[in-house]
A = this chain, B = another copy of it.
Amino acid sequence: MGTLPVEIFNPLDLESFIKESHMVLDLIANYYKDVEKYPVQSKVDPGFLWKHSPTVAPYLSEPLEEILDDVHNIIIPGLTHWQSPNFFAYFQANASTAGFLGEMLCTGLNVVGFNWITSPAATELERIVMDWMGKLLKLPRSFLFSGKGGDVLHGSSCESIVCTLAAARDKVLKEMGGHMNITKLVVYGSDQTHSCLQKAAKLVGIPPSNFRPITTSSSMGFSLSAHDVRVAMEEDLASGLVPMILCGTVGTTGSGAVDQLDGLGHVAKEFGVWFHIDAAYAGSACICPEFRHYLDGVELADSISMNPHKWFLSNMDCCCLWVKNPKLLVDSLSSDPEYLRNKFSDQSNDHEVVDYKDWQIALSRRFHAIKLWIVLRRYGEANLMSHIRSDMKLAKHFESLVVADGRFEVVVPRRFAVLCFRLKLIKGEDGCEMNRNLLDAINSSGRAYMTHTVLRGIFIIRCAIGTTLTEQRRMLMEYGS
């Protein structure tokens, strides 16, 4: 069985904790300094790392220097650089110093706040920052704890939507008086709703055939028509099905479209259906008064989620979910095994003790709140608004360049910092092929990384502006430095 190593194994020795952490910080700082030098989209071939890796873990400890050399020489060249100022793909994932500090504290303190007593400050700080965020977004008080609503931090919008769907499902099943009705429940979104809604619906046991991705149109700016939702719900009711939830989006992934929440909310009310708002991307922008109108109608919703890890300088991962009736969430997600029971939870009331394990999928949870708290305090509302506005300005500038260039056209009116454009069609050419080739050329150049979508058969290049360093460059340019 071998002999134990005789050396003292001390995985939290303070001297090496500090020394080795400094080495990693230097690597990360150098990475940010050099990130623009790397091709944005990685150029490695499938299998590159697999081929060069030992097939088993080492038996003995390796020096950190060697490991970090490998990070530098092998891992980094195999990354697609989400922090590059030239990353314009998908949606950005904002890194920042404050976000990084928050994650360091989360990881260093390493508490697991699933119940209030397992770290009261983790739970209470979460309520505080979520209250702050709700107020920045001018959400109705009915979404906040102080207004009998409730809020929680998840890792992703996908998780928020799964939890919301479970709550909506169980509410309807209870009203209908039996689980066998699960096969009748219907989920509504648009063909522009994020794919996580369809995935979540399937996950919580809704028959795949009961997912309604209602078709949007270019003339409506790819936003979901309340009229079409009503028609779909009426048809489903007529065939014995039961509308369960409607999801509206503020800032769709494809083109940044905004669903008219007010109209959708009224239809949802009319049919007694849960109304969820997915503001994963554009929610951050709504802290600016000039963009807040995109949330008009939120007062009609039952829940709303947005991702600070996209555009709010909060590093991966972080999603805010607000619900008006948290009891429904808890009814669906609570568990109460003996080994987790404690007098604080047993004596809990709505206002004091919250056990967030009952507000999410997993039992374990990281101390997400400390990150968002540091981001909000270190930067403050003013800088966060300025961060959003500078990306909007950049996007507007890029749009003006596209408009000024006769070869290109903007395909969808820009609302936020995503521009959907393409090469204008040339007679006899396949527009899709032509634009796909252009996108391939951009991406394989390594100088920028954009992605695409297809809207009503039209292949569109998406340029999503907003990584942290893109912003920085603009500011340097503008202010001279």
Q: A2-B382, A203-B332 are in contact. List 13 more A-B contacts (CB 8 A).
A: A28-B104, A48-B120, A49-B124, A55-B131, A59-B380, A79-B121, A90-B112, A103-B103, A159-B362, A203-B204, A309-B364, A338-B452, A338-B454
A75, A132, A202, A316 — which one has the most chain B CB atoms within 10 A of its CB? Answer: A75
A156 within 8 A of partner (CB): yes
- Nearest Cβ in chain B — how far from A25, in angstroms? 5
Contacts of A386 on B, CB cut-off 8 Å? 4-5, 9
A110 vs B27: C-alpha distance when bound (angstroms): 14
Question: Given the known A-B contacts A109-B31, A119-B80, A454-B338, are A479 and B8 also in contact in the complex, defined by CB atoms under 8 Å?
Answer: yes
- Verify B128–A108 contact, CB threshold 8 A: no
A238 within 8 A of partner (CB): no
A405 within 8 A of partner (CB): no
1-24 of chain A: CB within 8 A of chain B: 1-2, 4-5, 8-14, 16-18, 20-22, 24
- Nearest Cβ in chain B — how far from A71, in angstroms? 7
Interface string of A51-80 (1 = CB under 8 A from B): 001011111111010010001001111111
- Chief secondary structure at chain A's binding surface: helix
A9 vs B387: C-alpha distance when bound (angstroms): 8
A262 within 8 A of partner (CB): no
A5 vs B382: C-alpha distance when bound (angstroms): 7
Question: Given the known A-B contacts A1-B290, A42-B117, A452-B339, are A53 and B14 also in contact in the complex, defined by CB atoms under 8 Å?
Answer: no
Residue in chain B with minimal CB distance to A481: B8
- Partner of A111 from the list B17, B79, B385 (CB cut-off 8 Å) is B79
A408 within 8 A of partner (CB): no
Complex interface: stretch among A193-201, A220-228, A241-249, A409-417:
A193-201
Contacts of A290 on B, CB cut-off 8 Å? 1
Contacts of A471 on B, CB cut-off 8 Å? 9, 11
A79, A288, A471 — which one has the most chain B CB atoms within 10 A of its CB? Answer: A79
- Verify B182–A80 contact, CB threshold 8 A: no
A260 within 8 A of partner (CB): no
- Nearest Cβ in chain B — how far from A134, in angstroms? 10
Residue in chain B with minimal CB distance to A199: B335
A324 vs B475: C-alpha distance when bound (angstroms): 52
- Nearest Cβ in chain B — how far from A455, in angstroms? 9
A422 within 8 A of partner (CB): no
- Nearest Cβ in chain B — how far from A153, in angstroms? 13
- Partner of A110 from the list B57, B95, B106, B379 (CB cut-off 8 Å) is B95
- Verify A383–B196 contact, CB threshold 8 A: no
Residue in chain B with minimal CB distance to A63: B378
Residue in chain B with minimal CB distance to A43: B120
- Nearest Cβ in chain B — how far from A329, in angstroms? 12
- Verify B90–A339 contact, CB threshold 8 A: yes
- Nearest Cβ in chain B — how far from A306, in angstroms? 13
Complex interface: stretch among A264-272, A369-377, A423-431:
A369-377
- Verify A49–B195 contact, CB threshold 8 A: no
A175 within 8 A of partner (CB): no
- Nearest Cβ in chain B — how far from A100, in angstroms? 6
- Verify A104–B67 contact, CB threshold 8 A: no
- Nearest Cβ in chain B — how far from A98, in angstroms? 7
A105 within 8 A of partner (CB): yes
A140 within 8 A of partner (CB): no
80-136 of chain A: CB within 8 A of chain B: 80-83, 89-90, 93-101, 103-112, 116-122, 124-125, 127-129, 131-133, 135-136
Residue in chain B with minimal CB distance to A6: B479
174-198 of chain A: CB within 8 A of chain B: 179-180, 182-183, 194-196, 198
- Nearest Cβ in chain B — how far from A76, in angstroms? 8
A/B interface sample: 26 pairs, CB < 8 A: A11-B472, A22-B22, A22-B25, A42-B119, A47-B352, A49-B128, A53-B128, A57-B377, A60-B382, A62-B378, A76-B121, A77-B121, A82-B111, A90-B112, A100-B104, A104-B104, A155-B362, A169-B205, A179-B209, A182-B182, A183-B183, A195-B337, A195-B363, A203-B203, A203-B332, A204-B204
Question: Given the known A-B contacts A20-B97, A28-B105, A344-B46, are A364 and B199 also in contact in the complex, defined by CB atoms under 8 Å?
Answer: no
A435 within 8 A of partner (CB): no
